[in-house]
Structure 1
Amino acid sequence: MKFSQFPSNVKLRIICGFFDHMASMSVMPFMVLYIADELGKVTSGILLSINVVFGLICGLCGGYFADRFSRKRLLVTGQLLFAILMILMTIFIHPAINMPWVVAFLYMLTAVSGAMIFPALEALIIDSTTEEMRKSVYVTSYWANNLATAFGTAIGGLFYKDHRVLLFALIVIIMLINTAVFQRYLIDPTVNKVRKVVEAHWIRDLLSSYYVALKDTRFVVFTMAAVFIFSSEFALTNYIGVRLHDEFKPVELFGIHVDGVRMMSLMLIENTVLVVTVTFLIAKITEKRNQVAVLLLGTLMYTSGYGLAHHLTTWYLLMLVVLMATIGELMQTPIISVFQAKLMPEDKRASYIAFSSLGYSGAGLVASSGLIVGTVLNSMMMSIYVITLGLIGMLLLYLSIHSNIFKQKIPS
């Protein structure tokens, strides 16, 4: 299915999401380095772990409210809040002021805006598409997000150190423009939806809403698998990025001085450039293959590649393992997204999406805790540790999509 055939909400999501993601990726991955430099590795690891837990709680609340209220209103409010937080971060990260504890606190508060944006936006997309078009939508959206990541990380790697305030200011401008566009053009399919009358206190109703997802054993195991699998890539801007910042020996590549920070940027750029150039090729090659086999092979390549990146410090070997991991990522991601959408009941999509964020939040928690674990384990042991987690994730993923041990049926 072509982009021109997508519903208007989907087009808006992809176009605005491109600029939004590009702006965020130009600075957000480097915030971990900033906090680690200013406050120390252990302190930053603890703060980032707390941030993940806080973000998870906010995400669960965001999913609940997206099912109960206008998803468009929640999305627009979240975008505006994020812009305000970035304005404050721009002020307090300025060299003349430089208050790292305040910046870290504001960085943690971005979890609130993210919790308002993500469940509402993803539920809106599912609301606006049919099952037949979703794989095309997910592949295109994934491609656009990674193109945005390539541009964002390239800009961040080149200008973060010397033009940090300018980067933050650009993010604010883009977020404000996106907010205005969403407010003007986004169509909310939940406007005429009959609202469920809730007599219980909202906290009790929230817990009961997620209890439904928690009873869905197949979905819970699927979510647990995501925790172990995605933690390997999330470590790139946590443990791997900090280790390269400290241990990578600078090299000259094509006349450019590459230190640890820029090496991390190059790895992110390689990942996203590969996604941009070969996403549709990989999708074409694998579309008629056994999807379970494609998913498991892709997951193995993905986790092994990023697992090895925990130990390697040679630039061309790092680029090679990122190549392997990215191909694996392209094989697994569309299949995971389609399967996840099929598991979600129509009337609880936002809640299920927010619950599924446990996978990403848990992965972020595992990745950020790697900064603490890495003070005890050496890089080789960290590599083995991450690959082992990936293998556990593969097993759980297989059980959730290809076994009859759960009472819930396997989606066709």
Structure 2
Amino acid sequence: MSDFFKLDRNIQLRIVMMFITIAIGSSVGPNMTIYYVDYFGPFVTGILLVAVQVAGFIAGLYGGHLADTWGRKRVMIGGIAVMTVGYILAAAMNSPLYINPYLTFFGFLMATLGISFASPAEEAMMIDVSTLQNRKFIYAMIYWVINLAVMIGAALGGWFFKTARFELLLGTALGALLSLVIVVIWITETFPASKRTVHGQSVWSVVKSYREVFADKRYLKFMIAAVGATVIFSSPDYYLAAHLGQSFHNTTLFGVTIFGQRMLSVITVTNTLMIVLLMGTMTKLFQKWSNMKATAVGTAMQGAGFALSFLLNDFWPLFLVAIFLTLGEMIVTPAQQSLRAEMMNQQKIGTYSGFSAAMRPVGFIISSAIVSVSAFIGNIGAAMILLIATGISIWFTYLSVVMLREKRTV
């Protein structure tokens, strides 16, 4: 903890804000799908959720561009203000006196737009005030905070969403308002006007800004690697969930019946608890490893672990594999995120961060496609696809690191 207090104040405040934002998002976000299905039906809900993702994607790209044009703080204030208004609207529309699911959806759409818009500026600010020496520690701490926040938020949502929805949403709105106050009063600008780009604010200016990212072959290679990594870590939400739901052999443990959905929860809880309890220790154990070595080993462990879990049907083998792949996740995450920061053009960190965020849905699409094609290729085929994604991620990370090293020697 002493290392935390040595960090730049903006980083300390950003980590606090991240905890608040993710905790409140995790407390209501997953449960809103059930809420929408109850009011709109599954078909309309599916369309609405896709629309939210597309809107968030566009907001992230635009926010990334403006983070290099306006500066970090102004974009963060704008995005978090929109998020706060959205959560306030959602809470107001679910009071004991009045419920309006349509305006509730609009409120959560606003919140998603605000979060997506501010996210590239927040990441850019972290990179502005960190160094190559402390970046791995910072990202390890952020990852620990994220998992702790998700665990607390999910527990609050599971316990209170059905019985005390208004109070939970009101708490969410207050948490968002607290984040806004932190940004307005205490966060300082980290990107001076002298370094900002001269691109305008129009859509064409955004297109030209991202065209320059596409011309960066090193970063594009790293983004291909990032897509492969996304396919790996999103496995529990897609094929693993489907596999366990259909093929898991039910078992009884301590008088409790464990079926497919519960096995997925066991894996998720095991993963989260290990990260919360062991992330600091793992970071110290592997701090002397290069980012490339840690990324390669961690990605291989995580990818192989999930691929193996696609082939298993019993509790204890799956439990042991969950431990193995989580160890890999704790090795790879800080190294991979530190590498990503180093790969960016330091004059256009906001734009690069926006592009990075926009590439994640590509990995999600591939993960969802594995579920569809598994009807033809089975568990073994699905595992092979995941291993191919793992190999691609490691190989393209290596190619981008080679180009980075060549740049350093020029």
Alpha-carbon displacement from aligned partner over 1:60-101 (angstroms, at most 9, x marks no partner): 1110011111422221222232233334445667899584x8
The aligned counterpart of 2:132 is 131
Secondary structure of 1:271 counterpart: helix
The 1:315/1:170 distance shift into structure 2, 3 A limit, reads farther
The 1:359/1:196 distance shift into structure 2, 3 A limit, reads closer
Q: Return the alpha-carbon distance in structure 1 between the equivalents of residues 396 and 195 of structure 2.
A: 37
The aligned counterpart of 2:386 is 386
Q: Name whichever of 270-279 and 217-226 sits farther off.
A: 270-279
Q: Return the alpha-carbon distance in structure 1 between the equivalents of residues 316 and 100 of structure 2.
A: 36
Alpha-carbon displacement from aligned partner over 1:282-314 (angstroms, at most 9, x marks no partner): 223223345433321210121233344456554
Q: Return the alpha-carbon distance in structure 2 between the equivalents of residues 205 and 60 of structure 1.
A: 12
Q: Return the alpha-carbon distance in structure 2 between the equivalents of residues 4 and 374 of structure 1.
A: 49
Contact 2:196–2:347 (8 Å) recurs in 1? no
Is 1:274 the counterpart of 2:274? The answer is yes
If the length of structure 2 is used for normalisation, what is the TM-score? Answer: 0.83
Contact 1:238–1:367 (8 Å) recurs in 2? yes
Secondary structure of 1:2 counterpart: helix
Contact 1:232–1:386 (8 Å) recurs in 2? yes
The aligned counterpart of 2:336 is 336
C-alpha deviation, 1:170, in angstroms: 2.5
The aligned counterpart of 1:189 is 190
Q: Return the alpha-carbon distance in structure 2 between the equivalents of residues 36 and 324 of structure 1.
A: 36
Contact 2:221–2:397 (8 Å) recurs in 1? yes
Number of residue pairs the alignment of both structures matches: 407
The 1:45/1:386 distance shift into structure 2, 3 A limit, reads farther
Q: Return the alpha-carbon distance in structure 2 between the equivalents of residues 260 and 350 of structure 1.
A: 41
The 1:17/1:393 distance shift into structure 2, 3 A limit, reads same
Give the alignment of 1:242-321 within 5 angstroms. Answer: 263-289=263-289, 291-310=291-310, 312=312, 314-321=314-321
Q: Return the alpha-carbon distance in structure 1 between the equivalents of residues 374 and 108 of structure 2.
A: 23
Counterpart amino acid of 2:407?
A: K
The aligned counterpart of 1:180 is 181
Q: Name whichever of 114-123 and 290-299 sits farther off.
A: 290-299
Unpaired stretches in structure 2, ≥5 consecutive residues: none
- Whose relative contact order is higher, 1 or 2, with alpha carbons under 8 Å and at least 6 apart? 1
Secondary structure of 2:75 counterpart: helix
Q: Return the alpha-carbon distance in structure 1 between the equivalents of residues 237 and 304 of structure 2.
A: 17
The 1:275/1:89 distance shift into structure 2, 3 A limit, reads same
Q: Return the alpha-carbon distance in structure 1 between the equivalents of residues 265 and 152 of structure 2.
A: 10
If the length of structure 1 is used for normalisation, what is the TM-score? Answer: 0.82
Unpaired stretches in structure 1, ≥5 consecutive residues: none
Is 1:10 the counterpart of 2:4? The answer is no
Q: Return the alpha-carbon distance in structure 2 between the equivalents of residues 94 and 369 of structure 1.
A: 40
Contact 1:252–1:258 (8 Å) recurs in 2? yes
C-alpha deviation, 1:382, in angstroms: 3.8
Q: Return the alpha-carbon distance in structure 2 between the equivalents of residues 246 and 33 of structure 1.
A: 22
The 1:132/1:255 distance shift into structure 2, 3 A limit, reads same
Give the alignment of 1:42-61 within 5 angstroms. Answer: 48=49, 51-61=52-62
Q: Name whichever of 128-137 and 370-379 sits farther off.
A: 370-379
The 1:309/1:184 distance shift into structure 2, 3 A limit, reads farther
The 1:93/1:322 distance shift into structure 2, 3 A limit, reads farther
Q: Return the alpha-carbon distance in structure 1 between the equivalents of residues 18 and 216 of structure 2.
A: 31
The aligned counterpart of 1:231 is 231
The aligned counterpart of 2:146 is 145
Secondary structure of 1:129 counterpart: coil
Q: Return the alpha-carbon distance in structure 1 between the equivalents of residues 313 and 47 of structure 2.
A: 25
Q: Return the alpha-carbon distance in structure 2 between the equivalents of residues 273 and 3 of structure 1.
A: 21
The 1:28/1:102 distance shift into structure 2, 3 A limit, reads same
Q: Return the alpha-carbon distance in structure 2 between the equivalents of residues 183 and 87 of structure 1.
A: 18
Aligned-pair Cα RMSD in Å: 3.7
Counterpart amino acid of 2:400?
A: S
Q: Return the alpha-carbon distance in structure 2 between the equivalents of residues 262 and 340 of structure 1.
A: 35
The 1:301/1:373 distance shift into structure 2, 3 A limit, reads same
Alpha-carbon displacement from aligned partner over 1:218-276 (angstroms, at most 9, x marks no partner): 10010111112122322434554577678878877657776766654443332222112
The aligned counterpart of 2:407 is 409
Secondary structure of 2:152 counterpart: helix
Q: Return the alpha-carbon distance in structure 2 between the equivalents of residues 31 and 408 of structure 1.
A: 48
Contact 2:89–2:103 (8 Å) recurs in 1? no
Is 1:364 the counterpart of 2:403? The answer is no
C-alpha deviation, 1:176, in angstroms: 1.4
Secondary structure of 2:347 counterpart: helix
Contact 1:33–1:241 (8 Å) recurs in 2? no
Identical counterparts, % of pairs: 27
